[in-house]
Structures are given as C-alpha cells and as structure tokens.
A and B are shown apart, each in its own frame.
Chain A
Amino acid sequence: MEEGVAPDRDCVEVSLFGPGYGECIVVHLGFGDWIVVDSCIQPDSGDPVALAYLQAIGVDSSRIALVAASHWDDDHIRGISEVFRRATNAQFVCSSAMASREFEAVLSQWRPKSTIPGGSGLDELDRVTDILAKRAADTKYPTPECARAGLVLWERQKPIPAEVRALSPSHAADLAAIAGLAGVRDSDRGERRRLPHIEGNHTSVVMSVRVGTASVLLGADLQVRADRNLGWYAVVDRTKNNTRHEAYKIPHHGSANADDNEIWDRLLIKEPLTMLTPFCRAGVLLPTCNDAERILARSMRSYLTAPATKKRYRTRDYVVQKTIDEIALESYAIPNGFGHVRLRKEPNGNNWEVCCFGTALSLEQFVRQHCRRRKAKK
C-alpha cells in the first residue's frame, strides 16, 4: 500500500476503503486502539483490506479491539472471518438477528450449498461463528455482543475519553430482520443454489465514534423507512439534539432511500465531512449523478473511494466479444479499481486532514468528470 505511514499515537484516523463493490472502515481511536467495521477484499492481493492496511503501516492485528459486521450483505462482509481470526483480542459485534434461531435455521439449510461458486455473505458468517464457537471455551477471548440502539460497544476513559456506541438497530428492526430470515428459510425447496439476497439493510448497525472532540457517524447501509420505529427515523428519534457529528460515512452508497433532511439537521454539524463507497451490482450503480449532486448540496467536502461508472467488459477474442455484445442486453466489467479515503484529526486540532489514495476522489471531481460528460452526451 502506498499510504504506509501510521498515524501519530494520539491522532484519530478514519479510513474508508472501497473497490467498485465492497466497503470496509478502519478507525484508529488513538493510543493504539483500532476498530474494524465491515470488510472487503483488496483486488490485487485477495486479502481483507483491513489486515493489508494495518500490516502496511506496521500495526499488529492484535491491536484491533472490535470487529463489527454492520449487516450481512455480501459487499460488507467479504473477508471478515479472516480479520476476526487474526484479531485475537477483538470483540465481535453484529445485530441480534445474526444470533437468532432463524439465522441458525438459514445457516443449516444453506451450509451444504456452499459449494456453489460465487460465494455469499453467509459463508463468511458461518466461518465467523466457527471461530466464536472455538473461542467460547477460552475466557481470554472477549465475549461477542449483539448491537442494539444505545449500547456502548467499546469505551476508554484515559488518556483521552473515547466511545463507540451503536445507534441501531432498534428492537422493531431486529424483529423485521428475523422475519425476513424466516421467509428465506421457508422458501427453500432444497435446490442447490446460492443464498438469495436477504434484505438486511434495516438491521444495519449504525455507530457513533467519539474520541475527545472528534466525532464520526458511520451510517452502514441503514435506509429511511416510513415507520418511525425502523431505519433512520428510529435513530434520529433516540438521539439527543446535542450529539452532532463532524464526519459522516454516508449510508447505502449515497442512495436517495437512505437520505433524509432529519439526519443532516439533527445528527450532523453544518457542512460535515462526508465519505462514501460506490456500489455496482446487477445493473444498479450508486451513487447516481443525482445522488452526488444532492450530497454536494449538503456538503462540498465529500469524498468517494472510486468513481461509480460502468466499463465495458472486454475479452481478447473478437468472436467471443461479438457474441457477448449480441446476446447480452447489457454487460459491464465489475469495477476493480480500489480507493482509500483517509481522515485524520489531531487531538487538539480543529480540522480534519483528508487524503485520497488509489481511485478515491472528491465527489465534486466525480460530478465534474463523469456526470457532466454523461449529460453532455445525452
């Protein structure tokens, strides 16, 4: 990794990594305490990016205090079992739906189908639970915990107070997620296929990270729901007015269904520093140009780990290429760029220092380079 310089001992650092498909956040809480939220794979090496980054800056994985799986979507969970296996002092955190009997039933039914190529997030969680079961007998390992709104997941009093608090999921969201799992379990007719997508965004674990004066809101993939017991409205309603955050990991890749004025007005300072990852799957591309412009209207200090663009898939064989173009209604190569947005703040500093590595760029630059060109083409 090019950015191989570790932060100062008392410096707060938030790193957001994202290829075209995937997301991982690594946070330095100061004084050698690290947390990892979600995981994705570094395209070049095939290693979990959190481990590759920490190794590159000379940090031992035993310094990871917390490994959190915000939810079970494939793009948030790849490689998390390996991160957790290597983080021998870390507590594992996930939503209570993942510890439910319904989850156990889905795992039982889909485990024999793990031979289907393509993998799924469930395989990762299967491996995580293997590790948890092995470690359960030994008291030296921290006990795993189910996140719920308001729960303090990690804290430190000295030398600088720090706290990681879960703002979601609400109890209602957990119940909705468990019902979703039961639906998947019942739909199984034994055919050997990959686990279908289980709607898990509403059970996402949103986290508030505070270290001294620095505060960051990690939005996971939580969406806005009409029911105020679910989604962002439940978070907003439970959070006190005086707890505003300076930096914000925008949820659900900047999509409109995860955005609401109440989030900006009640949970964030004016013109916060924001960052997000793109999403490209099954024809869906996020953020769209409209999303980018909507976010920029709220904050010009927004950064994206990789441009959200579809590139044509190219093969070496002309005949194969011609056939793909003729048969497929639409096709594109999975974006394999890789970017890193890094925010750093000194303990007494007022400003965050932002650095972009790899394919990362400012959202304004993305709009200038890609959206305006698209509009001009139209």
Chain B
Amino acid sequence: MAIQWRPRQAAGQATAELLRQQDYRIFIPQRVEFGSRSQDDTIKIAPQKGTVGFKTAAASSFDVVAVGSGFTTMLEVKAPRAHLQKQESTTSFTLLSKFDGVILRRNGNRFWARLWENPNDREQFEAEFDVSELYGSEEKIAQEGTPIVWTIGYAIERGTRKRQSILYVRRVPPVSDEEVLTSGRAVKEKMDRIRWKKE
C-alpha cells in the first residue's frame, strides 16, 4: 500500500517547528510498521487539504499520525512507543517575596502603587517606580487602577545565582458585554427601588 507523504522538506520544517515550540525531545521508535487498520479499530482521519497534523498526546497507541490531502492512511508506531520527554531546564527561580498591588497614580514615566504580601496585612506599603521597571512592553497598559505583581527572588542560571526583581501587570480577563449587561440590569433594578426623599 502506497503511502502518500507531503514533500519531505515541508513536513520536516513543521516537525522542527513543533519541536522548537514545545521544547521536547523525541525518542525515535526502533520498529515502525505501515498499513491500514482493520475495520473495527480504524482511526479515520478526514482528509485535510494542505495541512499536516501531529497527534502528540498519547491517548492511544497511535502516537504519531501524519495527515495529508486526499489520503486516509495512517502511520502506526509500535512499541517501543514514541515518548515525549520534557527537557530539563537550565534556569530556575527561587521566590523570596511576592507582592500584589494596584497602581494608585501614574505621572508620565513614573507611577505610585500600593503593595501588600497579604491583603489583610496591616503592613502595606506604597512605592514609586519608573515605568521602565515593568516587565516587557507593559508600560502602555499601566494606568491608575491596574493590578500589578512584584516578585523578588533569585534567578539561578547554570549554577549562577543572581538577585532578580520582576514587576509585571497582572493579566485579568476583560469584562464581557454580558457581565456588564447583567450588572447593569441588577444595578438599575436596585436603584429604581430606592426611594430618595423628594425636595
């Protein structure tokens, strides 16, 4: 049975991309068999024009599947199965302190924030920062009311320990239209019920 492969270069590029993105090491199986499956346990892959799919999660014994346009044949990998093993990182971070906070005031390239380790702590503090201290390109989204996080700790890279401070904006999902609508209805209903004394 003929197996149709996508041009080698394209498939190779996609695999390399996948490997790079996920930082995985793939162990190549020792024995590989090709062939169509019997009717009861066939995994049908719908033809997808011009795409290559990789089934990397080992939910079944079919660990790697190539899909091309106009063919339904699959690649079956037999034991030893293909394993995806996470590569050990060479960097780590030891947290010493983490402060949550909120921006109180922004004044050009500087901002004031109130910070705390625990919201119920009596010991809170306020600090002024230069916006360049913010991680990445978060300068624009840092405005009054924005929640922030400040972590202080040690970054350990290839055995070398370095003190590190990371100040970043806490990413919170935006309020959905539905949430605003629901809230608007509840507030309106509530405010309409209140009888203010007339003049």
Which A residues contact B (CB, under 8 angstroms)? 43, 46, 99, 104-105, 107-109, 111-113, 116-118, 129-130, 132-133, 136-137, 143-146, 148, 190-197, 281-283, 313, 315, 317, 319-320, 322-324, 326-334, 336
Contact = CB atoms under 8 A, between A and B. Distances in A.
Contacts of B183: 108-109, 111-112
B54 interface: no
Interface string B104-127: 110000101010000110111111
Contacts of A99: 191, 194, 196
A143 B195 contact: yes
Contact of B197 (A145, A192, A281): A145
Interface residues of B, number: 52
A107 B190 CA distance: 11
Contacts of A46: 120
A113 B126 contact: no
Given A117-B102, A118-B114, A317-B97, A112 B193 contact: no
Contacts of B186: 111
Interface in B132-156: 133, 141, 143-147, 152
Nearest first, the 6 A-B pairs at minimum CB distance are: A313-B125, A194-B145, A193-B145, A331-B127, A328-B127, A108-B184
Given A190-B175, A327-B133, A334-B114, A146 B197 contact: yes
22 contacts: A108-B180, A111-B187, A112-B175, A112-B179, A112-B180, A118-B101, A132-B194, A136-B193, A143-B195, A145-B197, A148-B199, A191-B172, A193-B147, A194-B145, A194-B146, A315-B97, A320-B96, A324-B127, A324-B152, A330-B127, A332-B125, A333-B125
Q: Which of B130, B145, B172 has the most CB of A within 10 A?
A: B145
Contact of B172 (A105, A116, A129, A329): A116
Nearest to A137: B193
A133 B186 CA distance: 11
B169 to A, nearest CB: 10
B5 interface: no
B196 A145 contact: yes
B97 to A, nearest CB: 4
Given A108-B180, A334-B125, 19 more contacts: A99-B196, A108-B183, A109-B175, A109-B180, A112-B180, A117-B102, A118-B114, A145-B197, A190-B175, A193-B143, A196-B145, A197-B105, A281-B104, A281-B126, A283-B112, A330-B127, A331-B126, A333-B124, A334-B124
Nearest to A107: B187
B147 A336 contact: no
A132 B129 CA distance: 41
B77 interface: no
Nearest to A148: B199
A146 B194 CA distance: 12
Contacts of A190: 174-175, 180
A47 to B, nearest CB: 13
B188 interface: yes
A267 B86 CA distance: 76
A263 to B, nearest CB: 27
Nearest to A144: B196
Contacts of B196: 99, 143-146
B165 interface: yes
Contact of B163 (A118, A323, A332): A323
A27 B183 CA distance: 37
